[in-house]
Every structure is written in structure tokens, then in C-alpha cells.
Structure 1
Amino acid sequence: MAQLLPGSDLLVVPSYNADPRTLSCIDGLDSWAERHLVELRHLLHPGHRLVFVTPTPISEGCLEAVLKLMPAVPPSWLRERLQALCLHDHAPRPLTHKLLARPRLLEQLREQLRPGARLACYSVSPAEMALAQLLNLELEGTPASLSGLGSKAGSAEVFAQVGMPHPRTSLLCHSLEQLRDACTELLERHSDINSLVVKLNRMAGGRGNAPLELELQSWRLQPPLQRRQALEHALLHLEMPLPHWRDELLSNGAVAQELIDGRAGALSSPRMQLWIDGNGAARLVSTHEQWLGGPHGQSFKGCRFPARSVYREELMAMGERLGQHLAGLGCRGAVLLDVLARRQDKRWQLWAIEINLRKGGTTHPFQLAASATGGNFDRARGELRSADGSAVFYEASDELRMPHWHGLLPEQLLDDWVRRGLFFDSARRRGCIPHRLGALSEHGLLGATVLGRSRREASDLMRQMRRGPRQP
């Protein structure tokens, strides 16, 4: 990732930029900040300092678990240059907005951070741009002015420019009437489309995706007026996961898109991750298989590293091609490419689905795995190779939810992992690394990256971890 100069400072503000109503729908929202503890790796450089801003106190167990991943470095040596800055603010508002509303604290940070300090964040919005300007920080990520390239409509336009296979997509719509007309136009122009999905233009995590419930074979046989009425009815009763989705439609728009389904063969959802440095050089970081779930099977639930070998090379080539194009447009920092793969007649076909100009659910697991094993990404194999040259495998999830975890304290869970040999063992390079411990007791939620020396071992450890401990 980005290289810091000797003796430089890093301000980490893990802010999720969304409507407060959207944020209030996320269980254990404050615990998402724990994903960004992997930024502690910057403290491995002597003289570097890090200020980590959180809305609520960070889990001590999670902090300690990440500190212990640092190779042959005493945690006390790292803590001396780490400042955990808690705002004690539970309100469902973006963290950057909360920080900007505290002028005295901003003045203290301005005096504390040395020249050349950087701002690391989840994604870049106008709020992060304003914070960087106020504190005279170098900003890590794609400028907010280019954020549209990572929207649903923007992604489709980029794929068309680069010549990548992608689902047929409508123009951006800002009303139900426009969506109705866009759906009609898509279906009439492409008689081979079997299903449509409506996607809110700037919604992440699958919360803004909903299939259009319409039997298209019979719909195409109806007169124009009846087709129009049927589409209106389907849109009015769209089962969108986000309750206030119509307001989001008015403000940021939505698209109708061809839904690639599994009727013609098996489906999988790989993801390609890139990093574009400050000079515009794009490099591959990782490939993953995503686990999708939620109401319509379109929400990110976890991942497995690496992606399948049968299409990994084609996936990496797609990522490199996209990275060069986006770098030329001015994108910087983390870039994620979501892809859909479908097997038909023993051949896999890939479609580019979405660009994310932010850090995501596959970003921190790879960084954790690389830090924990001293590993580097091997482009030739598409694998993470540890310090001794062996391949590293892992599974990770931000949303492991177990009813019997409700009321369980983080210390109790970690004690159980140690007793059962599940906690990460740096000597054997296997075991579980936790995050989102702050959501464990209240919501029965946990995040974890589970490393193994084989794909099977990582899967077995994940299953064992999910089985216990249980509340008496």
C-alpha cells in the first residue's frame, strides 16, 4: 500500500459515508472501525506515529490481537506511538462529520500532526476532502470529484469504455416513472434478457439491490398498456432491503440492469483488488471468492482467498486492464472490481459487475494475512506467499452472527479460542484473528479472518470457530 516517509504521521478516520437512516440499519455500526486496525502496520517503521479515531472505545482484545501480529516487535514499542482517539459519539452519522463538528479537537490535531502527515479513510467524500484541507494532510484515495466512476451507472460506463463484458444496464434514473421507462426500453431492445435487477446508484453492500419480480415471458406477450401497468406494479412493490430506498432514488438515482442468473450454469462471485499509488501506477493486490447472502443473495457476507484457479488469470488480467484505465482518469488508492463468473459447458464466462473506489470487506483480511505471515502477493500464481515461500489461505467475514453469542464478553470468546487452539499461532501461521468484538455481546456479531496452510484447513477452522462457545 502507500509508503510513508521516515518519521511521518498517519491519521486514520474509518468513516462510512451514508445517509444516517442507512447507517442506523447496520447492527453494531461502531465496531466497523475495528477493520481498520490493520493500519497499525505503519508503526513498524521507526519514528512513525498513528492517530486512530473511533466513535466509541475500541475493543482492547481486538487491538491487542492486531498488535501481536507485528513480527518480532514488542507491542509496548508500538503503543508508544499510537494514539487511540475516541469521540464517544454513538449517533448514526459519518465519523468524519462528527470530527469536523469538533473545532477544538481539530485544532489539537493540526498542532500535533507533523508536516507530510497523511489521512487514511474508508472512502473519500467531500467531508474527507475538507478534513484533509483543514489539517493540511495528504489524502489517500480517489478524489471525491471522481466518485461517480464507482457508482452503478459509472461502473457500466467505464466497462463499456474499456470493452469489458458486463450486464446490459439502463441510463441513470431518478424516479419510478424513469425506471419504468428504462426497464421497458431494456426489455424491448434485448429480447434475450431473462431477469432485471434494480440497483440504487450509490449504495454499497447489496443494500440497494432488488430483483424485479416480473415473469418476462408472459409480460412480452401483453399489449403495451398492460406491460406498462405490470412494470409499475412490480416497481411499486420492489422488495428493496433499504426501507427509505425511494428517497435514495430521488437523491442519487438508480439503474435497471440485466440479472445474470444461474439458469445456464453454476455461478460464483469473485473480486479483484488493486492499489493505485500516488504516481498512477496500478498493481494487483488480491483475488477472492465472495460469499453473498441477504434478502436477495446480493449482499457481501464474507470471502475466501484466493479466487478459483480456473479463471484466476483471466480475472487478474481484467483487473490490470481496469486499473490502468482508472489510473489514467485520476483514481488513486484502493480499487475493487466485483465480477460474476458463470460456468457453462465446462467453460467459465466472466462479467464485470461493479467498481468500488474504496476499501472493502476483502481489503483488511488480505492486509492482516500478509502482516501475520510476512507474506507477499505472487502475481504469477495469484497467491499470497509467506516468508518461507509457502502458500497462505484464509476465509474471512465481517458478519458472523450466532444467537448463542449474545451476551458473550469478548474476553470469554478469546479465552475459548485459546483453549481450543483456534487463536492465531504465528509460529504455525494458522488460526483466527478477530475484529468487530465490540458488536459481540449486544448483537451476537463477530468479524474474523481465519488463516490456514491449506484451503481445507482454513475452512475447518472457520467451522470450529463458529460452533462455540455457547452461553450457559
Structure 2
Amino acid sequence: MASASANWIVSDESRFCQLQTQLTTCWQPINCFDREPRQILVVPSLSLDQEELRKVEGVHHYEERLLFSLLHLRNPNTSLIYVTSQPLHPSIVDYYLELLPGIPSSHAENRLRLFSTYDGSQRPLTEKVLNRPRLIERIRHCLSPQEAYMVCFNSTDWEKQLALTLNIPLMAVSPTLLELGTKAGSREIFAACDVPHPEGSSLTYCVKDLAIATAQLWERQPHLKRIVIKLNEGFSGEGNALLMLDELATVAPGKVHHEKRVSSVLDAFKHMRFQYMNETWGHFSRKIEELGAIAEAFIEGDIKRSPSVQGHITPFGDVEILSTHDQILGGPDGQIFLGCRFPADEAYRMELQTIGRRVGEVLAQRGALERYSVDFIAVQTKQRYWELNAIEINLRKGGTTHPFMALQLLTNGNYNLEDGQFYTPQGQPKFYRASDNLQKDQYRGLLPNDLMDIIMVEQLHFNSIAGTGAAFHLMGCLSEYGKLGLTCIGNTPEEAEQIYEQVVTALDRETS
């Protein structure tokens, strides 16, 4: 039986690899307008550790973030299928279709099919779909296998199995390569391509071993003030905790033996500064044993930023740089992703592109596919030079994906590698400020239609003539959680910030 099972797995993997070769003919770049018919199945499942995802309020509405994939419907020969856990509010779908430039919304709507599992449970969307064979059949009837491919938020064995079931390729990294995008895997890639990154430990699944590794890191760098403990598969910084070394001054390197230091670190783990406000040591320690964790030197600095670079690996193995951002971080110690500004500061923008391409080429050599991003810490020296340290790689769509897709959707422009800026066809540079976390208790109870009323009255919607204004996402999250996502586009960074503040002021005024 064991041999038969192994043969089935090999056969399954072989069939998946064969399907993936079809991507070279059916995959469609975002700005492609050829006459070849294509079908794109979007399954925006957050197939991550569900306990970690619970730390993000309204996370089940994050399936809406990929609605900017409707951008593909600008091509009249493309059809799109979008699957969600719960049905989308009709006004949300109408909103995105109306944003499509150069094509009637009714024309695009005729090429859009929406499916729902009608299941609001915490399980990943893809797992829900696989448990509904009749839904799979309805999706299958909408597909022509030689013209279709599937996209997702992140790739796991669930997504691979759905692609096999539907007999279409998956435009995403193979689940066999997911380790490359973990905290430990990121450090291995950075070392392989000689990218500066903080000193840290290897991956461990044992709390005692983690304490030993943490003590050893401190001994190698006795000047450290803080050490970050990171769950290997944490999401948006919510899986991080800070160990404050000033509280362990009596066991600092040189004062006591190694064993005493390890014992003190082990005890101090219980009192770390968790970045998720409701985290406990009991739960965090269990996740260490389940997901693994690393210890990493915390980079200090009086003037510090958190930029990132986004790239794309095509089915042909080509590496493309898509964008750079300065991330907006919050939480107790600035570890949690709240939003971003585009583009990143010109002082380090081009260096981000260079490092991003280097990382992308190593990922491509190892078989990675589709989107990836690299997060950094930038510290300004006394000489006003910015030192970059790479922090982690994300092999999935992230918080900077959908704002940039919104910019492409609304302006029909392109990213320029020569200066790292985005230009409209008329040569106008564009900038934005975006967030997934505009959240206030007073916004609770607002329906998507209420939001539309407020924005139209205040004239804060995106103006296609001026090419400025706000585009919204996570609208389904608003009523229950008072949480909203938005991308504010301006002709200058200052204008983008001003539009963002105008939206906040309008919502505050209307809900006060």
C-alpha cells in the first residue's frame, strides 16, 4: 500500500508539472491586449495559518483585495471567474466595474462570473471549494482548459489540488518551494545572493533551543538592545515579539556563564513585547513548536524606515521589477504593516530595485513563479546615507499588491525602471498613499452604499479626467469592523497625502 501511495504522489506531482508548462501559452500579462481568448480563475484564499490570521480583524473580507484583478477585463477577449467565501455585495462589484477605463462596464460584466461557497467559517477558501464538488463542476463548465489558468493570494497544497481537479495550471509558486518565503527561508536566500541582512539564528521548533540560539546571538553581538523573535510563518508582523535586553542586564555577555544567560532568556520569553495586542506566551510558545521560530537582531536607528520592493517572475523565468514602496508600520514597536506610500524614497529606490532583481533571479533559478516582495529596514547614518538590511521575502500577493494594481487600473500607465516612478501615457508621474487599516469604531454600521454616498457628496471619488482621487477596497469589512482600505492617488506625494486626509476627515464628520 505504501508503494502504491508513493506512486500516486509522484503521478500527481508529474501531472501538476505538466499543467504548469501550459502557462507559457495561456498566461496573460496585466497590460496584454492580444486577440487570444483567455480565462482567469481568481481564488483569493488566504491559505495561511488560520490561528495567526485571526489576529487580523475582518480578515475574511481580505478576499476582496484581489478584486483589482478585474483589471484584466479591459481586454475584451478575457473572461474572469471570481470565487469568494461569502457573496459579494452587488454595489462592491459595480464599483470595480465602473472603474475600468476604456470599456463599458456592461461589456466587462458579461465576461465576469461570480461564485461563492456561502461559508463564513475560518477555513481557507480553497479548502471550502474542494469540499463542494457541485460548485467545482459549475466552475469547470465555465472553463476551457487550454485557455484558462488560476491565480491566488498564496499557494499551498490546497491550491495545487484545486488546479489538478480543474485540470488548469496555477500561476503561483509551487507549494514545494514555500519554504523560500518563510522567515528562515528568506535568510537563506539573502545569504545565497549576498544581500545585507540582520544576524540571526537558524529555524527551531523547540523553546529551549530558541533560548539557546537567542543567547548565542546576544553573545555574538553584545551591543544589542533588542532581539526579535519571529514565528516562521507570521503574517503582517503579527507573529513577532521583542525581547528587551536592557531588562536582562545582570546576565549580559561577560557577566555570567552561558547557561545562566540561557535560563534567564528562557524566563524572559514569557514577558516579551508581543506585537499582537492579545497574544499570550502560552499561545505563542505553542506556535513556536508548530510553525518554528527564529531569533534576529533588532536594527536600531534614530531615523529608520521600512521600504520594500515588488517583483514578478514570469512563466518564462524572466524577472520583472514592478514597484517600490515605503511601508507604514504600527503596533507597539513598529512591526505591523498598516499601509504604504509609492514610490519609495529616491535616496534608496534604485538600490531596492537592484537588490530586488538579485533576489528574484535566485528565486527564479530555484523554480519560483509569480509575485514576490522583499521587505527592508533602512537606517540613515550620520553621513545621511541610508543603510539597507533585507528582512524577509513574501512569495505571495501582499499589502502592496492591490494598491499598485489600483494605480494601473485607474491610470493605464506604466512603471519606469530608469527612475522607479510611474507615469501615465501622457507622461504625468503618479504617487499614492494606501492603507488596509483605516479603522475607527465610529465607522461601524456603514454599508458600502453609505460609503459611496459620502464619497460622492464630498467629491473624493477617483476623477478619471484629473487622474486623482481615492479608490476603495475592503468595503465589506466596514459595517462590522469599522475598517476600510483605500488607495489615494495624486500628481505629487503631497497631493496623495492630502486626499487621504480629506477622506478621513469626511468619514469622521459623517459618522461623528
Range into which the TM-score falls when normalised by the shorter chain: over 0.9
Structure 1 counterpart of 2:263: 229
Conservation of the 8 A alpha-carbon contact between 1:2 and 1:277: no
Deviation at 1:29, TM superposition (A): 2.1
Structure 2 counterpart of 1:417: 455
Number of matched pairs: 470
Deviation at 1:329, TM superposition (A): 0.8
1:188-227 alignment runs, 5 A limit: 188-215=219-246, 217-220=249-252, 221-224=254-257, 225-227=259-261
1:40-439 alignment runs, 5 A limit: 40-116=70-146, 117-215=148-246, 217-220=249-252, 221-224=254-257, 225-240=259-274, 241=276, 242-243=279-280, 244-262=283-301, 265-345=302-382, 346-439=384-477
TM-score (norm 2): 0.89
Q: Distance in 2 between matches of 1:19 and 1:291?
A: 24
The percent of aligned pairs where both chains have the same amino acid is 37
Q: Distance in 2 between matches of 1:415 and 1:448?
A: 16
Deviation at 1:218, TM superposition (A): 4.1
Which secondary structure does the structure 2 equivalent of 1:468 belong to? helix
Q: Which residue identity does 1:330 align to in structure 2?
A: G
Structure 2 counterpart of 1:471: 511
Conservation of the 8 A alpha-carbon contact between 2:224 and 2:245: no
Conservation of the 8 A alpha-carbon contact between 1:402 and 1:466: no
Structure 2 counterpart of 1:441: 479
Q: Distance in 1 between matches of 2:333 and 2:115?
A: 38
Conservation of the 8 A alpha-carbon contact between 2:230 and 2:293: yes
Conservation of the 8 A alpha-carbon contact between 1:65 and 1:433: no
Q: Distance in 2 between matches of 1:411 and 1:107?
A: 33
Q: Which residue identity does 1:43 align to in structure 2?
A: L
Conservation of the 8 A alpha-carbon contact between 1:174 and 1:250: yes
Name the stretch that deviates more: 285-294 or 206-215. 206-215
Name the stretch that deviates more: 219-228 or 359-368. 219-228
Name the stretch that deviates more: 32-41 or 218-227. 218-227
Q: Which residue identity does 1:295 align to in structure 2?
A: P
Q: Deviations over 1:364-423 (max 9, x none)?
A: 111110120111000001001012111001011111102221112221222111111111
Conservation of the 8 A alpha-carbon contact between 2:52 and 2:239: no
Q: Distance in 2 between matches of 1:132 and 1:231?
A: 46
What residue ranges of structure 2 are gaps of 5+ in the alignment? Answer: 1-26
Q: Distance in 2 between matches of 1:125 and 1:252?
A: 15
TM-score (norm 1): 0.96
Q: Which residue identity does 1:98 align to in structure 2?
A: K
What residue ranges of structure 1 are gaps of 5+ in the alignment? Answer: none
Q: Which residue identity does 2:202 align to in structure 1?
A: L
Q: Distance in 1 between matches of 2:368 and 2:284?
A: 28
